[in-house]
Structure 1
Amino acid sequence: MSDSNKRIAKNTAFLYIRLLFVLFVSIYTTRVVLRYLGIEDYGIYNVVAGFVLMFSFLNNSMSISIQRFYNYVKGEDGELSQSDVYSAALLAQGIIAVATLVLLESVGWWYINNVMVVPPERVFAANCVFQFSVLSLVVVVMQGPFSGAILSNERMDYFALGSMVDVVLRLVIVLVLPYLPFDKLISYGVLSFVVSIVGFFWYYLYCHRCFRDLRFVKDRSGILLRRLLTFSGWNLLDMFSYTVKGQGLNVLINAFFGPTVNAARGISNQIMSAIQGFSSNIVMAFRPQLVESYAKGELARTTMLMFSMSKISYVFLYMLSVPIVVELDMVLRLWLGDNIPDYTVPFTILVLANMVVSSLNTPLSQVMQAVGELKWYQIVRSLIITSILPLAWLSLKLGGDPISVFVVSFLMTILNQPVSMVLLHRHYSYSYRDYLKQIVWPCCLFSLLAPLLPMVVVRTMDSSFLRLMVSCLVSGVSSLSLIYIVVLNSSERQMLGSLVLSRLKRIKS
């Protein structure tokens, strides 16, 4: 097994440990925050912080671009260095920080004081939380050049540790709230800002200690800044289209069916988000080497990484979704009790199906990010994504039920896949036949076979917590077996075998 593949496996493991740790600590932290702040103050904090977080899409698109340029320069044997990217990234993030600050201090201040419903005695506290949330976002924006350098250099262990430290600190500040003599909501806002400062210095100090070649240079930063802003602009279009689709569907559902159906969509999205984090970690582990291999001109390896990422993302998301879908009634009852909104079950099934199909699109986008020809790729994809809104409205106008909205979204997601394949093929040559043979066919076969044994368990046992556990166990074992037999090719099986053997030898020694 090559060192590069070992790094991908090791980085994926670090990121999964991070995901599970952050998930469990965050769930407990939410419970404690609710207890100490109370329902009213907790609601105020969530609305205010959520409004501020809505403006982070500017930073998200730039963060992806920064990491891409770090990896590209690292792989390319050219004039540009990582210091050039670092310098341009600092300037770009500074521009975004100022723009975010101006937008939030104008639009945000107006929203908090004129639109948001807050008890009169809590208006001052809400404004304090707003200001510290804005400052926290600015700090996170300026953290981008440093976290991007860490990710591009594949220091996933330190990145994972940073995330763990962050959630532990956020739990600690909640636990000290009862002992503070100040307003609890304001104190929570201040302490959350302090945690953001600690996070910034965590990444800043590591970069300056371990990446000594990172320094600010003015020579080429202006030219690279323009390229970075242009590249980020096309990413921004893609993110904006998904934001419009998500919020637009919420508005449509609310207008036609009321808030109860919105609640069902919210629950289905929570389930999807919990599972989708596993796919995001796979992408994060693969992305640095994919971009770097393309920059080096190693196109065969780039294609191999794209194919591997596609298969792994798809089968892992599908494997995690199967036990949830076959035992969805039991899962919802355990989580929500008897207070389950109508349409939650069909919404969740369709949202998970949409997520699994979308996972095949992400590797194509990652290769296009490496190539850098984003203009028409993002324009066409954005048109497809935003067209979901008028089509969903039309289906509802013609008498469709709420489920029809999700069916439209699922069908457009399927359409997006071949369109993205064609758009990528215009700039990056790969074999459609190999793609169908190595990805589409194994994934389709896996999708047909994986649910069979869990469904047998559901049909033959009475509904109970024991059946849920048996379903999960059977689903996991059968899915892993099918992945090895059906999905992996001979070289991937050999790679997996050598990895397992090396781990066993290390344990014995």
Structure 2
Amino acid sequence: MENNKYKRMAKNAGMLYFRMLLTMGVALYTSRVILQTLGVEDFGIYNVVAGFVTMLGFLNSAMSSATQRFLTFELGKSQTKDVRGVFSMSMNIHILIAITIFFLGETIGLWFLKTQMTIPMDRMFAAEWVFHLALISFMVNIISVPYNAMIIANEEMSVFARVSIISVVLKLLIVFMLTWFGTDKLIIYGVLSLIVTIIIFLIYKSYCENKFLDSRFKLFWDKKIFSVMISFTSWNMWGNVASVMSSQGVNVVLNIFFGPAVNAATAIATQASGALNSFVQNLQVAINPQIIKSYAAKDMLYMHQLVCYGAKYNFFLLFFLSVPILVNTDLVLNIWLGSTPDYTSIFLRLTIINILINCISAPLMTSAQATGKIKLYQTLVGGILLLNLPISYLVLKLGGEPYVVLFVGIVISIFAFLARLLILKNLISLPIKEYLKEVIGRGLLIVASVGILYYLFFILILDTLGFWLDSVFISILTLVTIVTFGVGKSERNVIVRQIKKRL
């Protein structure tokens, strides 16, 4: 745990956390201001329309994973590298994807928006504008994928931190600029968001072209690379379609049954839980290149260690951050936003529980991607995730409350995790017994210990504590429990040694 590879991952994770803290702080602040400026209805419209555009990007999501995998794999090989060829081909494919999604959006997507979604007639004009702007913004993000993948593959995470400072300043500027305009603020918000997206894309493009010679796009076509990447993407696309339909598709179903107000509650819960999940994502992004490179170098022991440690610490980190919110959800929402739409509190709790389950799957997903043999993995896991949409629709059709769809999602996530585990056992010879002991066993022990101790000390004895003291105590309790029961002796010694070294 103290060799150069781990130190580099720790440094990269630290830079990503700095980036995340900036973006999270701005996101929490701007959500409150934008909700108050736009109103609940317009806020819900923007999120459901932008989310629908994201649904159209299932092909891009699949290709993004392929680009990240193949660039990192090429860098991890000891010889016969062809990084520039992979980059240029991935850029060609992403341009084709952007054009395809634009066509689908302006035809099928626009028809669905006008005829199937529940949007007040007096706001339909603004919703259409938001749709067009979000579609263009999404196209820009598609073309930027190869540049972001190149930065991650080279493990230059400090770049994201520096660019995030610029992004934060621009997003704060948007918030203040909204109050300057007397015209339709929903449309103005869409325009300003598009401008920020374009600026950030140009910065990443300029950096990569100057830092990495292999990222200078050239007119190039390699039938072999194209065939391999498309084959990988075609199977990956099934899993991404299922994932998008499982999340954004359910959001559209909620809109059909309950209207924009419930979408606003969903958006708030998703944004808050997404801020928490970004901690885990940053850690995982720092680990992913090493997982793929270790497979390329055929270092399976190191790969297995990364999978187990990554899953375990993903869960510990997210659980530590989530516990104060889970036990004080209403107070947190009140401090953050003031008044909130109905169902926001229960949506947030259930969403956090779902991401706690999913966070331990992240290293498994990366491991499957590293092998390139994803046919069975995506077919089975994607099929399980896709069940979320029809089952959610059925329970709502039978009269279920909006939050019931989140219970459905939690059950689906558990089955998807079990499927991933069984597939990876054969795919990379993952030691299941060790994984279950280190990840699942220790995770359940932490949850049970914190739950019991909190009940005994904070409900029966210290029930009169205020929000801040309660949050501090529950955080300390969780941290002590993790260090005591969650890590092994060797890990604990390293943690203590590093703390002493810093002090």
The letter of the residue matching 2:146 is: P
The letter of the residue matching 1:410 is: I
Aligned to 1:154, the other structure's residue is in SS state: coil
> What root-mean-square deviation, in Å, do the aligned CA atoms of Structure 1 and Structure 2 show?
3.5
The letter of the residue matching 1:8 is: M
1:48-447, aligned counterparts within 5 Å?
A: 48-110=49-111, 117=119, 123=125, 129-176=130-177, 187-216=188-217, 221-247=222-248, 249=250, 268-335=269-336, 341=342, 348-389=348-389, 405-447=405-447
Verify the 8 A CA contact 2:89 2:220 in the aligned structure 1: no
Greater alpha carbon shift after TM alignment, 365-374 vs 269-278: 269-278
Verify the 8 A CA contact 1:450 1:478 in the aligned structure 2: yes
Q: CA deviation at 1:151?
A: 1.2
- For structure 2, the residue ranges without an aligned partner over 5 or more in a row are none
Q: Distance in 2 between matches of 1:320 and 1:187?
A: 35
Q: Distance in 1 between matches of 2:258 and 2:191?
A: 40
Verify the 8 A CA contact 1:63 1:144 in the aligned structure 2: yes
Verify the 8 A CA contact 2:55 2:245 in the aligned structure 1: no
Q: Distance in 1 between matches of 2:427 and 2:500?
A: 40
Q: CA deviation at 1:152?
A: 1.1
Q: Distance in 1 between matches of 2:421 and 2:155?
A: 28
Q: Distance in 1 between matches of 2:469 and 2:232?
A: 48
Q: CA deviation at 1:304?
A: 0.7
Cα gap change, 1:439/1:341 in structure 2, threshold over 3 Å: closer, same or farther?
same
Aligned to 2:468, the other structure's residue is in SS state: helix
The letter of the residue matching 1:414 is: I
Q: Which residue of 1 aligns with 2:489?
A: 490
Cα gap change, 1:474/1:106 in structure 2, threshold over 3 Å: closer, same or farther?
same
Q: CA deviation at 1:87?
A: 0.9
Q: Distance in 2 between matches of 1:99 and 1:385?
A: 25
Q: Which residue of 2 aligns with 1:448?
A: 448
The letter of the residue matching 2:413 is: T
Verify the 8 A CA contact 2:264 2:341 in the aligned structure 1: no
Q: Distance in 2 between matches of 1:249 and 1:6?
A: 40
Verify the 8 A CA contact 1:377 1:423 in the aligned structure 2: yes
Q: CA deviation at 1:496?
A: 2.6
Cα gap change, 1:432/1:190 in structure 2, threshold over 3 Å: closer, same or farther?
closer
Cα gap change, 1:332/1:211 in structure 2, threshold over 3 Å: closer, same or farther?
closer
Q: CA deviation at 1:106?
A: 2.1
Q: Distance in 1 between matches of 2:48 and 2:391?
A: 30
Q: Distance in 2 between matches of 1:250 and 1:30?
A: 19
Cα gap change, 1:328/1:88 in structure 2, threshold over 3 Å: closer, same or farther?
same
Percent identity between the two aligned chains: 34
The letter of the residue matching 2:299 is: E
Q: Distance in 1 between matches of 2:178 and 2:253?
A: 40
Cα gap change, 1:227/1:164 in structure 2, threshold over 3 Å: closer, same or farther?
farther
Verify the 8 A CA contact 1:306 1:363 in the aligned structure 2: yes
The letter of the residue matching 2:149 is: G
Q: CA deviation at 1:428?
A: 0.8
- For structure 1, the residue ranges without an aligned partner over 5 or more in a row are 505-509
String of CA shifts for 1:197-222, please: whole Å, max 9, x gaps: 22122111111111123344667733
Task: Determine which structure has more spread, i.e. the larger CA radius of gyration.
Answer: 1
Verify the 8 A CA contact 2:316 2:443 in the aligned structure 1: yes
Cα gap change, 1:99/1:187 in structure 2, threshold over 3 Å: closer, same or farther?
same
Q: Distance in 2 between matches of 1:337 and 1:7?
A: 41
Cα gap change, 1:243/1:447 in structure 2, threshold over 3 Å: closer, same or farther?
same
Tell me the number of residue pairs that the alignment of Structure 1 and Structure 2 aligns: 500
Q: CA deviation at 1:413?
A: 2.6
Q: Distance in 1 between matches of 2:172 and 2:198?
A: 16
Q: Which residue of 1 aligns with 2:479?
A: 480
The letter of the residue matching 2:369 is: Q
